[in-house]
Amino acid sequence: MKFYDQLSLIIFLTKVQCGDVNQAEFLFNTSSKKTVNIYGAMMKGYIENNQANKAIDLFHKIKDPNDVIFILLFNACAQLGSDEGLNLTKKVSKTIPKSFYSNVRLLTSLLDALVKCNDLTYAQSFFDASIKNDVGMYAVMMNGYNK
């Protein structure tokens, strides 16, 4: 990676973390080398600045998302808390690689999206079918039932 590319990446990440979404978008859009990590950073910036729809739009442009990208997508869907978010969560959950189902953070974010999009029945069935439930997953389910 050239010095200029590294410097641009540092500036981009700083803009995202500081909430300067417009400047981060500009840097993102002008970047010729967009890695999955760069997409993830931009998605996270959108989510942290309550722009879940933009994060979801960006997700659809990623050719080969990794587990972190799926976590961010489920976080965006949870932030929406709508039928649109629920439908996307269910659709994507059926397409993610089976190897990702061992990632407790991913499962927790998926459950969180289901609960926040008001489908406690589906969330419960997913929770019951999970091989490895951890404290975070129990907390999400408890919060869902305490609404």
Report pLDDT for 6.
Answer: 61
Would you state the structure tokens that stand for residue 71, as one six-digit string? 């976590």
Where the chain has pLDDT below 70, the residues are 1-9
Asked whether residue 114 falls in the same domain as residue 77, the answer is yes
Report pLDDT for 132.
Answer: 80
Asked whether residue 146 falls in the same domain as residue 99, the answer is yes
Report pLDDT for 146.
Answer: 92
The pLDDT tens digits for 21-38 are: 888 888 888 887 788 988
Report pLDDT for 2.
Answer: 54
Q: Which domain holds residue 82?
A: 70-147
Phi/psi of residue 15, nearest 5 degrees? -60, -45
Asked whether residue 46 falls in the same domain as residue 85, the answer is no
Length of the chain: 147
